Amino acid sequence: MQKPAGILSALWTPTTVDGEIDDPLLKIQVEFVIRGGVAGILALGSTGEFVHFDLATRERLLRRVVELANGHPVMANISDVSPRNVRHLARVATDIGCAGVAILPPWYFPLSAADQQAFFLDAASATPLPICLYNFPERTGNRISLETIAEVAKRANVTSVKQSGAEWAYHQDLVALGRELNFAVLTGSDTRLDEALALGCTGCISGLSNVCPELLVSVCRTVPTGDTASTARSMSLLKRVGAACGGVHFPMDVAAGMRARGLNPGAPKQIVSEATHSGMDGVTQALIPVLRDAGLIA
């Protein structure tokens, strides 16, 4: 996964009511996204709710996903506010045969550009694996600037950048820098995948791949061939999926979507109100006719 391309599934992490990894459900989910045609898996990403797991659990999860993926590329999100934990997970990812690592900037406290650069370079020193710098300022409170990305990419094995969040125009700037410094850009915007590919992104790290990987994979396959009719059909369905998911907040929308697909997301990892449970039920019901129209459920 030197320069990742295609759909990487931001894998959902099923858990039991005790907050432990639900291994049978995890196996089903890994097999589901691989069967759906994804190019790889991102384990412990935002959709995987990694912040709910302690270090030992994250390590066990990474090992198990690599095992279940059976040679399919796995990128490990090694993000943490603790540089020590980041280095530990980087070494684990290296030892177990991950194809790469993804790293968010630390969250909660503000960081200067110089501090971000130092943080990423410290992480890079712990692994020879390809690095994906992961920009999601709405979650971390710390945006990764073009200048920071350029400085880190010149000194470390940065092969990709993932752009998530509301700043759509940033994709274009990242793609231009990627062409200059030889890294790929992956979008986190599932429902604008066709636009991202047109801008020069190579693919998507996708939360909705836990629900409808076939639609996302179809777009990645048809855009380069110029099959505009097939692309338009898949994108229309993806946008309908995204609109239906708007009835509840992320990442509970993904869990609701999995239920519509007939998959069990496991127990919530946080306290969920009755209002959110009701919202999830509404999303599940709204998605069923969309998935039927897509031919993904009977």
Residue 154 among the catalytic residues: no
Are the C-beta atoms of 6 and 40 separated by less than 8 Å?
yes
Which long-range contacts link 19-27 to residues 24+ away (Cβ below 8 Å)? 19/52, 19/267, 19/269, 20/57, 21/57, 21/60, 21/61, 21/64, 22/266, 22/267, 23/64, 25/264, 25/265, 25/266, 26/61, 26/64, 26/65, 26/68, 27/68
Q: Distances in Å between the alpha carbon of 74 and those of 18, 46, 61, 100?
A: 26, 15, 12, 7
Residue 134 among the catalytic residues: yes
Q: Which of 154, 162, 170, 269 is catalytic?
A: 162
- DSSP assignment, residue 17? T
Give the chain's length. 298
Are the C-beta atoms of 168 and 13 separated by less than 8 Å?
no
Q: How far apart are CA 212 and CA 36, in angstroms?
A: 8
Q: Distances in Å between the alpha carbon of 122 and those of 81, 156, 187, 211?
A: 13, 10, 25, 36
Q: Which of 3, 134, 154, 239 is catalytic?
A: 134
Which are the catalytic amino acids?
134, 162
